[in-house]
Amino acid sequence: MQLTGKQKRYLRALMVTQPAMIQIGKGSVTENLIQQTNDALKAREVLKIKVLNNNDEDLDQLAEELAKACEAQVVQIIGHNFVLYRRNEEKPKIVLPE
């Protein structure tokens, strides 16, 4: 399912005041990072991730790589943060606008 612009705006509005739940430092996308992200997405459905200054990788590429590994969608990339979304099929918590 591809997110529409309206749905992305809704998710961005939810996350604007939330702190980053996961931080990525020097290490790239590792199995541990993927597992942490999967667990957080299962519990929350939407997640803000911060990339620290000591990471030299391209933020866009890093976000896409992690999203692909977690079967999630990139909602927003801004500054050193990005937001991922994956619907919890068992117990959905967020109702997206049509």
Q: Is pLDDT at 1 greater than 80 in this prediction? A: no
Domains parsed from the chain with CATH numbers: 5-85 (3.30.110.60)
Query: Scanning the structure block, which residue is given the tokens 């991922």?
Result: 84
> pLDDT tens digits for 36-84?
999 999 999 999 999 999 988 899 999 999 999 999 999 999 999 999 9
Residue 23: which H helix or E strand, with range? strand 22-24
Question: Looking at residue 27, what is its pLDDT?
Answer: 78
Question: Looking at residue 97, what is its pLDDT?
Answer: 87
Residue 63 CB-density burial (10 A; 0-12 exposed, 13-18 middle, 19+ buried): buried
Query: Scanning the structure block, which residue is given the tokens 């999967």?
Result: 38
Question: Looking at residue 72, what is its pLDDT?
Answer: 96
The model's pTM: 0.91
Q: What is the DSSP letter of 59?
A: H
